[in-house]
A and B are shown apart, each in its own frame.
Chain A
Amino acid sequence: MAKNPRARTAKKTGRRHPLAAVALIVIGLLSTGGAYAAFSSTATADETGVVSQSTIEEGEKLFAANCATCHGAALQGTQAGPSLHGVGAASVDFQVGTGRMPMAFDGAQAERKPVQFTDEQIEAMAAYVASISPGPAIPDEEYLTGDSDAANGAELFRINCAMCHNVAGAGGALTEGKFAPPLGGVAPEHIYEAMVTGPQNMPVFNDMNLSPADKADIISYLTYVDDNSSPGGFELGSLGPVAEGLFIWIFGLGAVIAITVWLTAKAN
């Protein structure tokens, strides 16, 4: 895996960058381009598995229209965005497939938002990026079923992931306004792709660190957490004692004080 210095954008702190307005205009233009591309794309690849040359060409067009401004026409990167050499199809599928790319504004980190492209378009861009310079591929379906060893997955999750994403996947804070996002409802392929590519400031968990089977187990654990609500009742955001403390002060003590007021008020 090659250097992935998206650090340059990540290093900037402040929530509202002075260039936010400029960035917004650029994004407006970009998304118009995307929409144009969406309407103009009539032919999409039919075959699955093998990527056809036409898909790559389609991806090249989409890339040139939507990504090249920041990442460079030849994936070499610019002041505004990192090089995409070696990031692979997995990275494109994750970044574009979760709506993080194209970026809305130059914040602490790219955030999840509504996806701007169709699955076919994302596939095309992923194929194009992978064709220029190889990198992690989009994961096999067999690792994404969510029905392997959840107990092993939970243990690996606690050791490798929970310190940032919280034991129940509720997310957590990082330095300088960055954060590890909540994992509830994230598609299995995106979880897998995040582990292999290390988006933003997340470390890379390559197959020598967590084998594909390990990753499948982690996905199984997260699927289990998603599918099974807490046996104790509402979870209060799975945020732990802070949420519980606020709850008891506001609602518990609130209810009790309301009762005391009724109790000591004179009857009519």
Chain B
Amino acid sequence: MSTSTVTPPTRGSRFTAAAANYLDERTSISGAVKELGRKIFPDHWSFMLGEVALYSFVVILLSGTFLTFFFDPSMTEVYYDGEYLPLSGIHMSVAYHSSLDLSFEIRGGLLMRQVHHWAALLFVASIGLHMLRVFFTGAFRKPREINWVIGFVLFVLAMAEGFTGYSLPDDLLSGNGLRIIDGMLKGLPVVGVWISYFLFGGEFPGVEVIPRLYVLHIMLLPAILIVTLALHMVLLIVNKHTQFAGPGRTNENVVGVPILPHFAAKAGGFFFLVFGVIMLIASFFTINPIWNYGPYDPSPVSAGTQPDWYIGFADGALRLAPPNWDVHVFGYTLPFGILVPMIALVGLLVVVAIYPFLEAWITGDKREHHIADRPRNAPTRTAIGAAGVTFYAVMWAAASSDIMATHFMLTMEGVIHTLQALLFVGPVIAFIVTKRICLGLQKKDREIALHGFESGRIVRMPGGAYIEVHEQLDDYERWRLVSFNDYAPLMIRPNAKGRITAGQRMRAALSRWFFEDRIVPPTKGEIEHAKEHGHH
């Protein structure tokens, strides 16, 4: 951080130098700045999605802190004496009352509540999209498997933060959401009733759950989230960012702009832009109008009772179970209608969490990978991703089955039955179609790399024949198309003891499934050969 320049130092730079010196003599921060200050970040729009999540989280922390000054999670019962006429004199908890007051009686309070809630929706959405980007570009491969798992934990924590947060106002909608959680917990074998009993501090709804969720929401979960986030960032710096294949980019370098100043300007400006977009949405669009829902009461319920979008897949999974599915074992009850959807959800999440290790085991590739794949160049992975997205999307859609029925003039039974079928058929179709599309695109890439692209210009040859002129790519453009990893299916070989293990067999089968259909990247020889032909 020295400012040794040829020109004589100005007053400003003298001050900066003195301040830097003061800090460095006490923190030895110069080392860190030297390491990080000119670190290079590659530029691609999809690399910014994680930042969207980070910035919405900052917005959540800022607006959430404001809300804690006015929100009171107490379940003490009071009568409403505030400004909202349709609730005046209604019996409610202090939690709900203070949520109404901070919306209606604090200037800017409703704005902060809406900023907080909209930012929360954007937070989870951007994490989801960020994970999809990482998955489809293979950016989870060595050395980033651990950071993938950390990111996955962040995703789960974000959902937990969301659920505990929107339950706090103790309104009718969130109360019914908690009741659904209570019902699901009670369905767990052996310990279900006890877990529900502990969570609610007795019978549902009790007077304990809102204060407990509040502590989780503003203390425990954010603390874990911040620590996990810090780990995520540290590993990001240690591993450096991936980059897409391009001229001059190799697996051994990073090409891009330095943190100081260029990347810091973009990322810093982006924070304000994300915050601004959230603020703009919050000033014009209502979110979670708790005054409409009324205080929680176990008797009423509203049509269209749904959770926030990120819990939707769980709600939808519950809706897709068939009727009358309690199973009795030795006089004990196993509610399969609840358990099977829960197993499906947990199963999906586990597969997401461990996928990097699975793929690493199948390929056996121990190299570090810093070049992000184009999704088409890993057809089976991309197809698996598409199948997973479809599975999730079907459950997600099921959570709005009633709204689809009314808005598209369908029967809700028809919607549910269709989604039940799609839950099984959809991922298979998505897998096959996506894989075919990827292979098709790869074939086209290869064709273009070898023979150029059709220019649309028809030329008459001296002999009278007509041909379309193919425009050749330059070396830079071609490089993007031809540089990708190629894998062959695993051959089963006996191990040192001359045996073939079951694990080996399975790995070989999976490897075949992954890499049987593949398009080989064109070689230098092929390109030169094609060029000669092209030129006649």
Contact = CB atoms under 8 A, between A and B. Distances in A.
Interface stretch (A39-47, A149-157, A186-194): A149-157
B286 A158 contact: no
**Chain A, interface residues (CB within 8 Å), range:** 35 or more
A173 B406 contact: yes
A176 B273 CA distance: 46
A251 B288 CA distance: 17
A162 interface: yes
A13 B401 CA distance: 17
A231 interface: yes
Interface string B128-170: 0100000000000000000000000000000000000000000
A170 B304 contact: yes
B243 to A, nearest CB: 12
Interface in A41-72: none
A163 B303 CA distance: 5
Interface in A215-247: 221, 224-225, 230-236, 238-242, 244-247
Contacts of A255: 277
Interface in B54-110: 85-90, 103-104, 110
Interface in B400-454: 400-403, 405-406, 409-414
B189 to A, nearest CB: 30
Tell me if B's interface is mostly helix, strand, loop or mixed: helix
Nearest to B171: A167
Given A173-B303, A244-B121, A248-B122, A151 B88 contact: yes
Interface stretch (B19-27, B198-206, B292-300, B339-347): B292-300
A158 B297 contact: yes
Contact of A175 (B85, B303, B412): B412
B285 A241 contact: no
A221 to B, nearest CB: 5
A205 interface: no
Contact of A159 (B46, B266, B270, B300): B300
A232 B121 contact: no
B109 to A, nearest CB: 11
A179 B402 CA distance: 10
Contacts of A85: none
Contact of A179 (B129, B292, B294, B405): B405
Contacts of B173: 167, 240-241
Given A176-B411, A241-B309, A245-B309, A171 B286 contact: no
Interface in B254-311: 266, 269-270, 273-274, 277-278, 281, 283-289, 291-294, 297, 299-310
A253 interface: yes
B377 interface: no
B312 interface: yes
Nearest to A235: B286
**Contact size range, B:** 35 or more
B86 A253 contact: no
Contacts of B380: none
A249 B309 contact: yes
Contact of A166 (B303, B307, B413): B303
A108 B43 CA distance: 55
A256 B297 contact: no
Nearest to B111: A232
B392 interface: no
A265 B409 CA distance: 43
Given A166-B303, A170-B304, A244 B289 contact: no
Contact of B399 (A167, A232, A242, A247): A242
A244 B287 contact: yes
B403 to A, nearest CB: 5
Interface string A1-39: 000000000000101000000000000000000000000
B294 A167 contact: yes
A265 B403 CA distance: 39
Interface in A65-95: none
A247 B43 contact: no
B288 A260 contact: no
Given A151-B89, A232-B110, A177 B284 contact: no
Contacts, number: 201
B77 to A, nearest CB: 15
30 contacts: A150-B86, A154-B86, A155-B90, A155-B294, A158-B302, A162-B300, A165-B303, A167-B292, A167-B293, A171-B303, A172-B402, A224-B86, A225-B292, A238-B289, A241-B306, A241-B312, A242-B304, A242-B312, A244-B121, A245-B121, A247-B285, A249-B125, A252-B278, A253-B52, A256-B274, A257-B49, A263-B266, A263-B269, A264-B45, A264-B48
A203 to B, nearest CB: 15
Contacts of B412: 173-177
B533 interface: no
B98 to A, nearest CB: 17
A259 B89 CA distance: 47
A58 B252 CA distance: 93
A162 B125 CA distance: 30
A264 B126 CA distance: 17
Given A175-B411, A244-B287, A256-B273, 14 more contacts: A158-B294, A168-B292, A170-B304, A173-B405, A230-B286, A233-B285, A238-B292, A239-B403, A242-B400, A248-B122, A252-B278, A255-B277, A260-B52, A263-B273
A208 interface: no
B336 interface: no
B402 A259 contact: no
A197 B125 CA distance: 46
The 3 nearest A-B residue pairs measured at CB: A172-B303, A245-B309, A232-B286
A240 B293 CA distance: 10
A257 B270 CA distance: 11
Contacts of B110: 231-232
Contacts of B118: 248, 252
B172 interface: yes
A248 B292 contact: no
B114 interface: yes
A263 B300 contact: no
A186 B302 CA distance: 19
Nearest to B52: A256
A248 B266 contact: no
B277 to A, nearest CB: 5
B44 interface: yes
Contacts of A232: 103, 110, 114, 285-287, 289
Nearest to A244: B287
Contact of B405 (A167, A177, A231): A177
A6 to B, nearest CB: 19
A138 interface: no
A158 B413 contact: no
Contacts of A176: 411-413
Contact of A168 (B48, B125, B289, B301): B289
